Structure 1
Amino acid sequence: MAPSPVPSNSDATALNATQARLPRLTPDFIAKHYPRHVSVVHVNVINRHGERTPGNHKIPAISPEHWNLCEHGNTLHAEFLRAVGLLTPQDPATGSGAQMQPSAHTPPWHNFIFNKETRDMSGLIGNGSSSAGKGPNDGSVRTTATCAFGQLTDLGRVSMTALGAHMRALYVDALGFLPSTPRQAADGGPTNDLYLRATTYTRTFESLQQMLGGLYPNQPLGSPLFCVNVRPSAHETVYPGFGCASLRPLFAHFNAAARKQHAGELDNIYAEMLRIPALRRQVETEHSERRSRFTIPIMDTVAAVHAHALPMPEAIDDAFVTRLAQASAIEYQHSAWKSASLARMVIGRLVHECVGHIVAAVEGDRAADDQRPRMAIYSAHDTTLGPLLAVMGSGGDPGDPSAETPEGMVWPQFASSMRIELLKDARSPRPPVRPAWEDDQKDYSEDASMVPFEKRVRPVNVPKTLYRWSSVAGRETAERNPRALRDYYVRVWYNDRTLQLPTCRDPGAHHTQLGPSVCTLDGFFKQVARFVPSDKEAAAECRVD
């Protein structure tokens, strides 16, 4: 939730330390990163939702009892409920409905959307009750703009619309990759250009709604051109599934290791928080020798207050929030970064899906299939992006127990996004040098699932047929051609910067002109291969409850 290190040539647009940055799409930026001979074939977008209220009300000294920052969202909720005839609440005892009369205390819309989905996270990220009451300087009262816990605020809506508008400016206006208006599918159904996913949390669904409003403005409410896929929580792939029995002990092990390795940093932030009267009581509640996470619950409230520019003690400034975000990242991201098997269990199934989109895009591009999805958008969470950064090797080689924690590892900001671009360059020559792993015959000639995770050079869902392509004769060849993917490259953006994947830094594993941040497709496959389990492997490794 705090900013990632920003390159010196970045032109930041973030308002403060808890919000993501986006690059300025200047002509020089487009010419540098998207030369005319390089085309975009497919894009996977994984984003965190926009600014929200805290998951609970636990630090009344800095957090108001009533967050009156959701007027626009609540109006939309009321209009939706009125449109479907559900603005009349039901009596829980009788099941009968009676029209609620407006009053100063019970507006007719209040929490109808959220009454069964408050998403109180106190049991997951902290101790104690969510009902902390009013603080000494809290004069807030309930209004028609009052938010629920964890609700996307009006500021969050603005941020997500801005992210969608940024993607429109890039992929529609500058590159012509997406059509200017969404196209209806040939069968009359929703557009095939976009694959859309959101989790069951209201804030991610609404973040996606706002993002689509920026990408394709002026679409009618409830446009039949968009189909959003939502999975039941038990089958979700974009955040850790705690039905995975192996996950909790691994988290506990690596969190304890992080606590030990970074004792100095964590002890310093703990001592600093104790010196801030507004935080002291909650810090003492959260901190325990048996608990390996005490900064994340504090960060949840501090980041929300800071992002919305609400008054806070002078000691809780931008620099303090950044240090708190770094400590929170150590408590959570450190685990996935240190253990490849844990990263697989946390986010491997989502990486499997992203690889599947890329494979389908290559196959569709070769077949000149214009009905294939061009972009997949996953509206998700900070607990999605943190492990994904580890999989992409942000800061070093993930899974190396001897390596130090990446410098600058921080919690993903509100509205953060990762974009995995599949590029094609049929003009530029393939790198003349080949990385050693490119000609590993075993990993290609046999079923990838028969190769140990640590030795895989392609994900388990990359078919061998992808390598049986000959552009010389225009037909598929019988044997594997290690150069078959020579025209395709992958670049990973995280907010306003590109990530340099460890396997793509070697000579021969990246674009000769665009540099190490533009991987050969083989280089990208090599990076993520050990993090992509099959369904059978995922179930066996997780020991699914």
Structure 2
Amino acid sequence: MAQLPLEVESYYLLAPDNLQLQQVHIYVRHGEKTPVGIRLMGQPANLPQYWSFCKTAQRLQALVTGDEDGDDFMHARKVVEREDGHSVEDDCLLGELTDMGRTSTYNYGRSLRELYVDKLEFLPDYLQKSDEVYFRTTNIPRTTESLQQIIHGLYPTSKCHTEAVPPLFIRNTKDKNLSGNTSCKHLEILLIGFAQASTYNHTLEPLDKKLSKYIGGNPIRIDGNRERQIRAASTHGIKVPPEFEEKVVIDTLEKAIVTEWFAGSLLFVLFRPEPTYI
């Protein structure tokens, strides 16, 4: 199922009168996407090789150099070509934000507006200046596109001054700090060492008997790629093997993978830029 928007009324109560909200930092990953690699195809898992959930992403508008009157916008369609040369409508690239992911991140942006604009009146209803908010993303298409959807939900065009186009800040790979900077060779070595030494591998051993048949008889160990493929499939309505529908199985895998990937690894941030002190 798609990610649910924030439950503003249920979980975000007004602060006591003697307290005032000064600053908000919001960290988000990205919306639902296709797997970054193709695994578990064929017997016995039978997950698909191609994922056709990207109708919206086919429509492109690009700023191009125009004639003497200046630049112009070019409308185009993006088509994913398969290795045999033919294409299928709505095919996604590996790791691409799907239509479901676009919808869920847009809804998240709308919920942020409901909370911080309508309910708490912390952010302005109408954006007069672009520096009233600060948006930053990693240089990965699915995170940038997710942030664009969130911004559109939080500040749709009708709520932005024509001069207040919110900038999306992106750092070069060597300067990034929203996710693990693997251009640092020492960090890369540490990450590999963590995966090899993970204490969760011991907790995964009992799953070998159930799941090894889906990965060529290999043991189930820390490697988030396989479980994320299962999550991506079930989220988009693709039938997964029955073992991966068992709560104890998926919970065990998820705990191991969350530990592997998310000890401080975050993909983009939305917050007000200046520090404020009480």
Distance 1:67 1:263, change over 3 A: closer
Partner of 1:361: 276
Residue 149 of structure 2 is aligned to residue 210 of structure 1: yes
Residue 124 of structure 2 is aligned to residue 182 of structure 1: no
Partner of 1:329: 258
**For 1:146 and 1:174, how far apart are their aligned partners in 2?**
40
Partner of 1:101: none
**For 1:270 and 1:332, how far apart are their aligned partners in 2?**
22
Partner of 1:196: 135
The within-5 A match list for 1:135-150 is 142-150=87-95
Unaligned stretches of 5+ residues in structure 2: 65-71
Partner of 2:202: 264
**For 1:238 and 1:182, how far apart are their aligned partners in 2?**
26
Aligned partner letter, 2:238: L
SS at match of 2:136: strand
**For 2:228 and 2:114, how far apart are their aligned partners in 1?**
32
SS at match of 1:300: helix
Unaligned stretches of 5+ residues in structure 1: 1-14, 88-107, 116-130, 134-140, 185-190, 337-342, 363-487, 489-545
Residue 226 of structure 2 is aligned to residue 298 of structure 1: yes
**For 2:241 and 2:108, how far apart are their aligned partners in 1?**
31
Distance 1:153 1:202, change over 3 A: same
**For 2:163 and 2:250, how far apart are their aligned partners in 1?**
40
**For 1:29 and 1:330, how far apart are their aligned partners in 2?**
26
Larger relative contact order (Cα-Cα within 8 Å, sequence gap ≥ 6): 2
Check the 8 A contact 1:197/1:230 in 2, yes or no. Answer: yes
Check the 8 A contact 1:50/1:152 in 2, yes or no. Answer: yes
How many residues align? The count is: 263
The within-5 A match list for 1:434-445 is none
Residue 65 of structure 2 is aligned to residue 71 of structure 1: no
Distance 1:297 1:224, change over 3 A: same
Correspondent of 1:237 among 152, 173, 177? 177
In the TM superposition, residue 262 of structure 1 has moved relative to its aligned partner by: 3.5
Partner of 2:78: 109
Check the 8 A contact 1:302/1:321 in 2, yes or no. Answer: no
In the TM superposition, residue 182 of structure 1 has moved relative to its aligned partner by: 1.1
Partner of 1:313: 241
Aligned partner letter, 1:147: C
SS at match of 1:40: coil
SS at match of 1:73: helix
Aligned partner letter, 1:229: F
- Alpha-carbon deviations, 1:40-99, whole Å to 9, x = none? 111111100000001022222443222111101212x2x347864485xxxxxxxxxxxx
Q: TM-score, normalised by structure 2?
A: 0.80
Distance 1:266 1:299, change over 3 A: same
Check the 8 A contact 1:70/1:154 in 2, yes or no. Answer: yes
**For 1:56 and 1:264, how far apart are their aligned partners in 2?**
25
**For 1:209 and 1:332, how far apart are their aligned partners in 2?**
24
Q: TM-score, normalised by structure 1?
A: 0.43
Which structure has the bigger radius of gyration? Answer: 1
Correspondent of 1:55 among 18, 31, 36? 36
**For 1:262 and 1:202, how far apart are their aligned partners in 2?**
31
Aligned partner letter, 2:40: I
In the TM superposition, residue 223 of structure 1 has moved relative to its aligned partner by: 7.6
**For 1:235 and 1:247, how far apart are their aligned partners in 2?**
14
**For 1:197 and 1:243, how far apart are their aligned partners in 2?**
19
**For 2:234 and 2:163, how far apart are their aligned partners in 1?**
35
Give the superposed CA RMSD.
3.4
Correspondent of 1:166 among 111, 114, 122? 111
Check the 8 A contact 1:55/1:300 in 2, yes or no. Answer: no
